[in-house]
């Protein structure tokens, strides 16, 4: 069996969607002739924790954990947030915060390139180069963000002359918050230089959607392969779960300001004002919700519709999704929204419940929802369309016929997608 070293920051006990892709690759790679060795941090600053995910790591997989220094203790002391978890995801909101937050944000963007894990790059290259003298592997995989993982793999690949696959769960310089990093021209140039180096020097570049594929191929003139996110059929192989008896739109995971669907709140508010029962739809939000989202819901007079559920373990999230009358999938609003393909989408597909997607109609997410026949997509500002659809969904719910028929989702199973990854590994090691 061939061996592959996988370099990742997010790994159990980290929770949330960021860990799922790599965890499932590791779970199934041995079925396709590849034994993974995982290299990760021992003290990561994770916004979410789910220790139960460690049970999904095969017992014969070696996991190497090494300490990392991250500047968050300094950040929390400087901003007066000592003891609090750093929510790095909603960077745009931080950029518009207090003066101390703006200063720390500017420092983060211009001195910590490509990200705050940069201090792990050189020690990791040294450690892994020595480790691989004794433990031979056939290939390396890096997964980012954080993109420091790619730079570690780049260094090790050069030293040990090993083929390297760079897996991008998100883009780099077109990420939604990139423009808000307050970068100097020199820092921006450095980001782009490193991005291009990874794209050109990696033996293979893998991305999650076609728009990122087009972007990266245009930059590097090299072939880029799409391997989508997906769902693990074993996670969803539970006993049948009854659909909740309250008509509700359910959102799971972090609800960031940048994906606040004000057109939906407006549609519900108008239905409520008009006295239509669909206006009483419950808004069940499971996980972290940014304050501006809650403020927006309140501003539209929907506080009474709100049902907030704090962070729960992954297996409970699955139960909630399968019991949801309707699942809500808002896409981030920014210039690159077409490429957004959150891992949540594929878990929604696996749940078998109808999806309401709000985002660009020609985007990747809308395409997956429509092609899989798992729901309906609406443009960001389509208040009238959302109102009409909510009325239809409510009528179907009352009649007991709210479901999706004949969805096409088999190609998104994690095991199938891991087979595609193994094919790419076989190609670069042939």
- Measured CA to CA in angstroms, residue 116 lies from 9, 40, 149, 416 at distances of 12, 15, 11, 34
The answer to whether 265 and 304 have CB atoms below 8 angstroms apart is no
Shared domain for 421 and 376, answered yes or no, is no
Q: Give yes or no for residue 203 having a pLDDT over 90.
A: yes
342 and 210 within one domain: no
Greatest CA separation for the chain: 72
Summary mean pLDDT of the chain = 92
**Minimal CA–CA distance to 413: which of 117, 28, 6?**
28
Tally of domains in the chain: 2
For residue range 361-391, list pLDDT tens digits in order: 999 999 999 889 999 999 999 999 999 999 9
Task: Identify the pLDDT of residue 45.
Answer: 87
For residue 89, name the pLDDT band (cuts at 50, 70, 90): very low
The enclosing domain of 154 has a CATH number of: 3.40.50.2000
Q: Is residue 191 part of a domain?
A: yes
Q: What is the pLDDT of residue 85?
A: 54
* pLDDT tens-digit readout, 136-182: 999 999 999 999 999 999 999 999 999 999 999 999 999 888 887 88
90 confidence band (pLDDT: 50, 70, 90): very low
Is residue 342 scored above 80 in pLDDT?
yes
Q: Considering the domain boundaries, does residue 79 fall inside one? A: no
Structural domain span for residue 384 = 248-410
Helix (H) or strand (E) holding 62: strand 62-66
Residue 19 placed within a domain:
yes
For residue 81, the model assigns a pLDDT of: 55
């Amino acid at each position: 069996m061939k061996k592959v070293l996988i370099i990742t920051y997010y790994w159990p006990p980290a929770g949330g969607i960021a860990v799922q892709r790599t965890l499932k690759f590791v779970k199934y790679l041995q079925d396709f002739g590849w034994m993974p060795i995982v290299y990760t941090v021992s003290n990561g600053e994770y916004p979410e924790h789910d220790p139960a995910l460690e049970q999904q790591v095969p017992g014969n997989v070696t996991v190497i954990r090494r300490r990392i220094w991250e500047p968050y203790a300094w950040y929390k002391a400087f901003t007066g947030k000592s003891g609090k978890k750093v929510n790095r995801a909603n960077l745009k909101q931080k950029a518009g915060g207090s003066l101390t937050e703006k200063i720390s944000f500017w420092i983060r963007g211009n001195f910590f390139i490509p990200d705050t894990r940069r201090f792990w790059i050189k020690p990791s290259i040294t450690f892994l180069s020595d480790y691989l003298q004794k433990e031979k592997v056939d290939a390396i995989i890096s997964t980012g963000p954080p993109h420091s993982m790619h730079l570690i793999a780049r260094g090790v690949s050069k030293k040990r002359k090993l083929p390297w696959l760079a897996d991008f769960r998100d883009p780099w310089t077109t990420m939604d918050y990139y423009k808000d990093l307050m970068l100097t021209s020199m820092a921006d140039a450095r980001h782009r230089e490193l991005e291009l180096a990874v794209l050109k020097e990696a033996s293979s570049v893998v991305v999650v959607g076609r728009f990122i594929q087009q972007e990266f191929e245009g930059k590097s003139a090299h072939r880029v392969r799409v391997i989508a996110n997906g769902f693990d059929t074993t996670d969803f192989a539970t006993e049948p779960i009854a659909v909740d008896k309250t008509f509700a739109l359910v959102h799971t995971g972090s609800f960031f300001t940048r994906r606040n669907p004000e057109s939906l709140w407006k549609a519900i508010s108008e239905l409520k004002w008009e006295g239509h029962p669909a206006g009483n739809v419950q808004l069940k939000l499971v996980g972290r919700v940014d304050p501006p989202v809650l403020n927006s819901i309140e501003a539209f007079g929907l506080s009474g519709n709100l049902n907030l559920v704090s962070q729960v373990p992954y297996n409970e999230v699955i139960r909630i999704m399968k019991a949801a009358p309707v699942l809500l999938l808002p896409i981030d609003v920014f210039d690159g929204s077409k490429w957004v393909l959150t891992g949540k989408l594929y878990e929604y597909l696996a749940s078998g419940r109808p999806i309401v997607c709000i985002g660009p109609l020609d985007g990747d997410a809308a395409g997956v929802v429509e092609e899989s026949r798992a729901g309906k997509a609406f443009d960001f500002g389509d208040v009238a369309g959302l109102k009409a659809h909510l009325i239809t969904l409510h009528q179907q719910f009352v009649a007991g016929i709210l479901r999706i028929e004949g969805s096409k989702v088999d190609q998104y199973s994690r095991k199938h997608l891991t087979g595609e990854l193994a094919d790419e590994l076989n190609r670069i090691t042939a």
